[in-house]
């Protein structure tokens, strides 16, 4: 009974939200769910922030500065999360080839395995959502989210100065 009340509360709460808040609430709900699903079934605890960082590293060797720039986490917190990922054996930190001050990141074999398992977990979640709202709607939603909305990180900075 509790689950039904929670679902109907969510649905009624979502009815009065604008686009930005709807996207934010759904994002928060999905991220919380995927984090809980992972952490309930695996020995290595990985936070959403750590997953976000791992996504920027997967199959690449970016610098710490690059990762810090493209995750919406403070530089200090990003460094803390990277150290945590390193201590869990998920990330390796190396000196950059061309610049000894810069450090490059890569996922370890364990890090890649965890990342790929989490991708499979998210794919399963997407299938469950598709069962509820239809695979055509999932495809349409993904296409809409991929479109150029005429906004960027620079958009806010440009409008702020006017």
In a domain, 27, yes or no: yes
In a domain, 25, yes or no: yes
Is the pLDDT confidence value at 156 over 90?
A: no
The per-residue DSSP string of 42-83 comes to -SS---HHHHHHHHHHTTS--BHHHHHHHSSS-HHHHHHHHH
In a domain, 105, yes or no: yes
Mean pLDDT of the chain: 88
pLDDT band at 157 (very low <50, low <70, confident <90, very high): low
pLDDT band at 99 (very low <50, low <70, confident <90, very high): confident
Q: How many domains does the chain have?
A: 1
Residue 87 sits in a domain whose CATH number is 1.10.10.10
| pTM, 2 dp | 0.81
In a domain, 100, yes or no: yes
In a domain, 52, yes or no: yes
**Residue 1 has what pLDDT?**
43
Q: H helices of the chain, where? A: 2-14, 19-41, 48-57, 64-70, 75-87, 109-133, 135-146, 153-160
Instruction: Give the residue numbers spanning the domain of 87.
Output: 19-160
**Residue 13 has what pLDDT?**
73
Tokens in use for 40? Answer: 């309930």
In a domain, 82, yes or no: yes
In a domain, 53, yes or no: yes
């Amino acid at each position: 009974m509790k689950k039904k009340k929670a679902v109907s509360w969510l649905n009624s709460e979502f009815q009065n939200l604008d686009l930005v808040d709807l996207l934010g609430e759904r994002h928060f709900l999905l991220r919380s769910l995927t984090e809980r699903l992972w952490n309930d079934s695996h020995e290595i605890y990985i936070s959403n922030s750590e997953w976000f960082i791992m996504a920027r590293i997967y199959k690449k060797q970016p610098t710490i500065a690059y990762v810090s720039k493209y995750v919406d986490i403070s530089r200090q917190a990003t460094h803390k999360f990277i150290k945590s990922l390193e201590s869990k054996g998920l990330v390796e930190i190396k000196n950059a080839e061309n610049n000894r001050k810069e450090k490059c990141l890569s996922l370890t074999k364990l890090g890649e395995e965890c990342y790929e398992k989490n991708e499979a977990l998210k794919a399963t979640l997407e299938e469950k959502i598709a069962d509820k709202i239809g695979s055509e709607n999932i495809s349409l939603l993904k296409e809409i989210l991929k479109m150029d909305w005429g906004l960027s990180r620079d958009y806010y900075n440009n409008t702020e100065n006017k």
